Structure 1
Amino acid sequence: MASPSGRPWRTAALLLPLTVAGAHIGPAATWLPAVRRLLFPRLAGTGHRRHVALTFDDGPDPASTPRFLDALDELDVRATFFLLGSEVVRHPALVRELVGRGHEPAVHGWTHDRPWWPAPARDVAEVRRAVRAVHDTTGQRPVWYRPPYGILTSGRWLAARRAGLRPVLWSAWGQDWTADATPASVRARVAADLRGGGTVLLHDTDRVAAPGCWRSALAALPGIVDGCREAGLTVGPLREHGPGPLLPDGPPPAGPGS
């Protein structure tokens, strides 16, 4: 018969993995839009109330990113691109072109992996590696960090902090990564959540999404920008977005489609 004095140790041994897992994944609750908007508006990308930040994830991709750069030139809009470090070193000329056209490089991690298992040392090393790749390629030190899938684990929070990056997610997205996405669905999905001071998430590649889905985002882009401008909002990168008030002093300007 086991001694009662051993039970606390067994209980602690059983609870330890749960505690570690909870500490690791707990901050990922910020993925929920309501949590971000209410408790972490800066993480939601809240900025100047008459500005919308336009951001793209998962590039660079030589098959699709140049088309977005051309479309943004035609619209006279600059954006923030959250880049994967592994692709930056594969396509440095494209990254330099992106920056040369006035866009802002940011960090999306080294690869687009899922962070289910705690690996804080790896997270720190890979984010630093991505920062170094962007800096070495462009001469610019990135400011922003958005983790793959928008999942901010404790390890990724630590990695961003160690690398001197500011984590930012989004307040509106186009759900443009799905096989059934259309230009109309992307525009409607963005318009449903976007208000002045918001940050839009789109993707300039289908690298980790349905093949060809980037075409819907590309075709939706003019309508999204025009809708913002019709609502009296300017559109640009996060560097022009600025910090927004935690509590607005009045109703914000309406977003496109509202």
Structure 2
Amino acid sequence: MSPKSGRPWRTAAVLAPVAVAAAHIAPAATWLPGVRLPLFPRLAGLGGGRHIALTFDDGPDPESTPHFLDALDELGVRATFFLLGEHMVRHSAMVRETARRGHELAVHGWTHERPWRPAPARDAEQITRTVRALRDISGHRPHWYRPPYGILTSGRWLAARRAGLRPVLWSAWGRDWTADATPASVRARIAADLRGGGTVLLHDSDRLAAPGCWRAALGALPGLVRDCREAGLSVGPLRDHGLTPQG
């Protein structure tokens, strides 16, 4: 074989890993609102026009989650909680209490890792493991999946779909995980992006964020719900949002 004839094979060997990595991470572009909202509205959680889906990530947390459950009871609102598997098995009583109070349970993954390297087998194992743990602890089969950090890769998407889950991100968030977040800042940030049919992202835990930041989200809840109701919008979980679990 001449040197020239070997060049295509060497080029292919170099480009193949690049192509695999690109295919892996390309769906993560949906993290950007400018991509997600106009091009993938269902992934952004856009549902029924007069309904707001209220969602929480990163629990369960025995220190903070009970405060959210009490506040939601007082407001007469149910929400969807995206749970981490490693926390579920440590705090199974909190998972059952969340379900007992009428809230919807969904999958946030087993851990809260960033998925920069392709690992489809790991993605499938972790999502399946989380689905099984949630079902065994609560008796409920989950329908929704939100990847940690909102980073949806091809491996995570495929693993979720094979597990019978529909990926859902959000259309409005409160940036409530930051050290300088306040109830007023969280409420204002959500209000800037909130429209009928939107999905709101908040967090009921500070394990992966600034210590104590969950209090900003908690403090914003009454005003947020009041804003929605004054605008003629109902607030509830994703199951009431007009999205089909496997659509």
Q: Quickly name the TM-score band, shorter chain normalised.
A: over 0.9
Q: Name the TM-score, length of structure 2 as normaliser.
A: 0.97
Q: Which residue of 2 aligns with 1:101?
A: 101
Q: Which residue of 2 aligns with 1:200?
A: 200
Provide the secondary structure at the position in 2 that maps to 1:108: strand
Q: Which residue of 1 aligns with 2:42?
A: 42
Residue 209 of structure 1 pairs with residue 237 of structure 2 = no
Aligned residue runs from structure 1 range 180-195, under 5 A: 180-195=180-195
Q: Which residue of 2 aligns with 1:150?
A: 150
Amino acid at match of 1:224: L
Residue 127 of structure 1 pairs with residue 122 of structure 2 = no
- Where does structure 1 differ by over 2 angstroms across 4 or more consecutive aligned residues? none
Q: Name the TM-score, length of structure 1 as normaliser.
A: 0.93
Provide the secondary structure at the position in 2 that maps to 1:72: helix
Tell me by how many angstroms 1:243 deviates.
Answer: 3.0
Q: How far apart are the structure 2 equivalents of 1:111 and 1:206?
A: 14
Coordinate RMSD, CA, aligned: 0.9
Residue 171 of structure 1 pairs with residue 171 of structure 2 = yes
| Per-residue Cα deviation, 1:181-213 (whole angstroms, up to 9, x for no partner) | 111110010000000000000000001001110
Amino acid at match of 2:241: H
Provide the secondary structure at the position in 2 that maps to 1:229: helix
Q: Which residue of 2 aligns with 1:242?
A: 242
Amino acid at match of 1:107: V
Q: How far apart are the structure 2 equivalents of 1:227 and 1:215?
A: 19
Q: How far apart are the structure 2 equivalents of 1:181 and 1:15?
A: 44
Q: Which residue of 1 aligns with 2:60?
A: 60
Residue 19 of structure 1 pairs with residue 19 of structure 2 = yes
Amino acid at match of 1:136: D
Q: How far apart are the structure 1 equivalents of 2:14 and 2:179?
A: 42
Residue 223 of structure 1 pairs with residue 223 of structure 2 = yes
Q: How far apart are the structure 1 equivalents of 2:167 and 2:143?
A: 9
Q: Which residue of 2 aligns with 1:247?
A: none
Provide the secondary structure at the position in 2 that maps to 1:54: strand
Tell me by how many angstroms 1:241 deviates.
Answer: 0.5
| Per-residue Cα deviation, 1:146-186 (whole angstroms, up to 9, x for no partner) | 00000000000011011000000000000000111111110
| Per-residue Cα deviation, 1:217-240 (whole angstroms, up to 9, x for no partner) | 000111111000010000000000
Identical-pair percentage: 77
Structure 2 unaligned regions, length at least 5: none
Amino acid at match of 2:172: A
Structure 1 unaligned regions, length at least 5: 245-258
Provide the secondary structure at the position in 2 that maps to 1:210: coil
Q: How far apart are the structure 1 equivalents of 2:34 and 2:49?
A: 19
Residue 4 of structure 1 pairs with residue 9 of structure 2 = no
Amino acid at match of 1:180: D
Q: How far apart are the structure 2 equivalents of 1:132 and 1:175?
A: 30
Tell me by how many angstroms 1:34 deviates.
Answer: 1.7
Tell me by how many angstroms 1:13 deviates.
Answer: 1.2
Q: How far apart are the structure 1 equivalents of 2:101 and 2:161?
A: 29
Amino acid at match of 1:157: W
- When structure 1 is superposed on structure 2, of 27-36 and 106-115 the one drifting more is 27-36
Q: How far apart are the structure 2 equivalents of 1:134 and 1:33?
A: 30
Provide the secondary structure at the position in 1 that maps to 2:61: coil
Q: How many residues align?
A: 243
Q: Which residue of 2 aligns with 1:28?
A: 28
Q: How far apart are the structure 2 equivalents of 1:161 and 1:51?
A: 25
| Per-residue Cα deviation, 1:116-157 (whole angstroms, up to 9, x for no partner) | 010000000000000001000111000000000000000000
Q: How far apart are the structure 1 equivalents of 2:199 and 2:34?
A: 15
| Per-residue Cα deviation, 1:56-111 (whole angstroms, up to 9, x for no partner) | 00000001000000000000000000000111111111100000000000000000
